[in-house]
Amino acid sequence: MSEKINVSLKVWRQNQGEEGHFEVYQAKEIDTDASFLEMLDVVNEQLTLNGKEPIAFEDDCREGICGCCGALVNGKTHGSYEQTTLCQLHMRKFKNNEQIVIEPFRSHAFTVIKDLVVDRSGLDAIITEGGYVSVKTGNAPEASTTPIQKERAEAAMDAAECIGCGACVAACPNGSAMLFTAAKVSPRKATPSVSNG
């Protein structure tokens, strides 16, 4: 059986083009099995019932695939748990009565649209410029019949881990979007070559 905790949220509130500020909200009786975004849903429901504007945050898949839920939690991207996006960060990682500071990714590459939502269109442009090559190869063989060396397969999987969330840019002290570009380019370099033996 999961436990319930109370946390205090210090949340960045900002409209596009305006000065931002922190506001404090109480999240009470939150299930420790709830994700961070589910906790924000509970807080937003209470804000709406009280006639206040809900906290704007971005989400889509809630499965750690799309990468759009990024924000800084206590000054760290996605809360900085290894291979965990914000939607997969569970409230059991926090202590009862803890204060949690939530703010948008901070970088010149990301302008704040509203509250925790940032403009990632620059990163989207990099992805769309990725390109492809079309080569006539005849009938493609069954993929499972093509042996790939284990080291090459693992290198390809490691290189393809980037989900395009922009956390690398936000975590970089220089706010370098080149980190993101390198992450998106590296899968092409690490793609295993076809081997017959």
In a domain, 136, yes or no: no
Q: pLDDT tens across 150-178, in order?
A: 998 888 777 667 777 888 888 887 777 66
**For residues 139-158, average pLDDT:** 80
pLDDT band at 144 (very low <50, low <70, confident <90, very high): confident
Q: pLDDT tens across 41-97, in order?
A: 999 999 999 999 999 999 999 988 888 888 999 999 988 788 889 999 999 999 999
Instruction: Dig out the tokens for 55 from the structure.
Output: 């906290």
What Cα–Cα distance (Å) separates residue 131 from each residue in 30, 127, 128, 184, 191? 45, 9, 7, 12, 15
Looking at the structure of the chain, the number of domains it has is 1
pLDDT at 130: 64
In the DSSP assignment, the letter for residue 110 is B
In a domain, 159, yes or no: no
In a domain, 125, yes or no: no
Q: What is the CATH number of the domain that holds 75?
A: 3.10.20.30
pLDDT at 48: 98
43 or 131: which carries more pLDDT confidence?
43
In a domain, 146, yes or no: no
| Cut 0.85: pTM above it | no
In a domain, 58, yes or no: yes
Q: Nearest Cα to 57, choosing from 131, 124, 4, 113?
A: 113
Domain that holds residue 106: 4-119
In a domain, 40, yes or no: yes
CA 117/CA 126 separation, integer angstroms: 19
pLDDT at 118: 94
pLDDT at 135: 67
Q: pLDDT tens across 10-50, in order?
A: 999 999 999 999 999 999 999 999 999 999 999 999 999 99
Q: Which spans in the chain are helix H? A: 36-49, 121-128, 150-159, 167-171, 178-190
pLDDT at 131: 58
Q: Residue 191 above 70 pLDDT?
A: no
The separation between CA 33 and the C-alpha centre of its own chain, rounded to angstroms, equals 19
Phi, psi of 101 (to 5 degrees): -95, 125
